[in-house]
Amino acid sequence: MHVIFIEPRFPANQRLFVKALAEVGAHVTAIGEGSKESLDDDLKRWLLHYEQVPNVCDEAAVLGAVRFVQSRAYVDRLEATVEAHIMPTARVREAAGIPGTSVRTAFLCRDKPAMKQALREGGVPCAQSTGASSLDEAREFAQNVGLPVIIKPRDGAGASGAVRIDALGELEPALRTFGLGQPGRSVAIEEFIEGHEGFFDTLTIGGQIVHEFATHYYPNVLEAMRTRWISPQFVTTNRIDSAPGYDEVKALGRKVIEILGIGTSATHMEWFFGPKGLKFSEIGCRPPGVRAWDLYNVGNDIDLYREWAMAICHGRPDRRPSRRLSAGMIALRPSQDGRIIGYSGLEEIGNAFGPHVIDANTPPPGTPTQPVEAGYMANAWIRMKHESYDELRRMLDIVGQTVKVWAA
């Protein structure tokens, strides 16, 4: 099988998709923005061919590269795994006549108002939402639904760019930051859903889920990405097959995948559970970010990059997840913006929980800090594992209370 893969160099785990494809027997061509000389020896060894384009989101440039490759060899699949690449790749795929995720599916997984409209029509419980192109439309929605509401880019990922509005007077200044009022600009505006937030990740083959994982946020993402003193966590459970509370999440996920027409792909689906019950939030037709697959691999004695490659190339999984461990990550925020000057508490955590630490990132003194909203892996972090989900949560809480990242 001949697979074209979009952008093998960045982010860093992109190379693992290429490696997995090569290891399951695929011939791999890559299209990326760097020069061929920028590829390391492993990528050169794994790749059959490489094409450089100025921008992998430039559909005309990527289509030209794909047609050049097609003129020399048959192409079975064209794959992308980064959120920003999904829609342009789908358009190129369709123009080039290559099987895979359709433009319709990619659009519905990218455009928040269209996504929720399609799912509501299919009976999936979602937050009330709409697309707004003016202050009047946004104000009318907020008045009808009630405050608070959330404003976010129509094609945003997770909480990226999301703003919570608690008073009507906050609407206009918030919308200005999105450029509303300029030709063609529109935002997604949604009912704020109270409740616990988590995500449900799958690998599907022909529309059927072959691997599934459930992960919990502590606290919810919007709060975590706006509050410096919080050391936020996300923890994947090893109880997804044994605790009855996950049955509803699984059923929701299957319905979403069916309605959106997702075929053979990784997916990343956000959900809330609270006073209004289980509510779908949004889905990406790609693997989760923040290297969540690393945690699934550790907890389940599995290689999901290989499983993904097996799905793409052979239409079947290679092995079943063990559900042996829960695994989680805690982000450690610097005390202020500036440069890191040191750490406290790391030795105590190492002594207490050393065997349960998977890995850690502790940038050395002198490293510039990244802003809180830059994400879970922007600064220091620690990842851990344990047979008991509850014990893992307790250990991660202790890490958050003990380890300090000092900056000046």
CATH of the domain at 395: 3.30.470.20
Q: Tell me what the pLDDT averaged over the chain comes to.
A: 95
- The strand pair at 49-52 and 27-32 is best described as parallel
The answer on 85 and 14 residing in a single domain is yes
Considering the domain boundaries, does residue 123 fall inside one?
Answer: no
Considering the domain boundaries, does residue 143 fall inside one?
Answer: yes
Residue 179 confidence (pLDDT) = 83
Domain stops at, among 272, 304, 324? 324
CATH for 57: 3.40.50.20
Number of independent structural domains in the chain: 4
Average pLDDT over residues 194-219: 97
Domain stops at, among 297, 324, 351? 324
pLDDT digit string, tens, across residues 366-405: 999 999 989 999 999 999 999 999 999 999 999 999 999 9
Range of the domain at 249: 195-324
Cα within 13 Å of Cα(288), Cβ side:
25
In this prediction, residue 313 has a pLDDT band, given cuts at 50, 70 and 90, of: very high
The answer on 61 and 33 residing in a single domain is yes
The answer on 96 and 155 residing in a single domain is no
pLDDT digit string, tens, across residues 70-107: 999 999 999 999 999 999 999 999 999 999 999 999 99
Residue 202 confidence (pLDDT) = 98
The answer on 132 and 22 residing in a single domain is no
Please tell me the distance from the alpha carbon of residue 49 to that of residue 395, in angstroms, as a whole number. Answer: 46
Least confident of 169-173, 207-211, 307-311: 169-173
Considering the domain boundaries, does residue 201 fall inside one?
Answer: yes
The answer on 257 and 208 residing in a single domain is yes
The answer on 59 and 30 residing in a single domain is yes
- Of all residues in the chain, the percent with pLDDT exceeding 90 is 89
Considering the domain boundaries, does residue 308 fall inside one?
Answer: yes
Considering the domain boundaries, does residue 61 fall inside one?
Answer: yes
- The strand pair at 265-274 and 340-344 is best described as unpaired
Minimal CA–CA distance to 197: which of 96, 299, 285, 278? Answer: 278
pLDDT digit string, tens, across residues 394-407: 999 999 999 999 99
The answer on 155 and 268 residing in a single domain is no
Q: Which backbone phi and psi does 213 adopt, to 5 degrees?
A: -145, 145
C-alpha pair distances (Å), 70 with each of 58, 73, 75, 103, 231: 18, 5, 6, 20, 49
The answer on 173 and 154 residing in a single domain is yes
Average pLDDT over residues 320-343: 98
Considering the domain boundaries, does residue 136 fall inside one?
Answer: yes
CATH for 154: 3.30.1490.20
The answer on 28 and 7 residing in a single domain is yes
Considering the domain boundaries, does residue 114 fall inside one?
Answer: no
Beta bridge partners of 3: 28, 77
In this prediction, residue 177 has a pLDDT band, given cuts at 50, 70 and 90, of: confident
Domain stops at, among 324, 346, 377? 324
pTM: predicted TM-score of the whole model, two decimal places: 0.93
Residue 406 confidence (pLDDT) = 98
The answer on 294 and 395 residing in a single domain is no
In this prediction, residue 253 has a pLDDT band, given cuts at 50, 70 and 90, of: very high
Per the structure block, which two tokens stand in for 392?
Answer: 């893992």
Considering the domain boundaries, does residue 180 fall inside one?
Answer: yes
Residue 96 confidence (pLDDT) = 98
The answer on 353 and 319 residing in a single domain is no
The answer on 252 and 292 residing in a single domain is yes
Burial 186-216 (b: 16+ CB within 10 A, else e): bbbbbbbbeeebbbbbbbbbeeebbbbbbbb
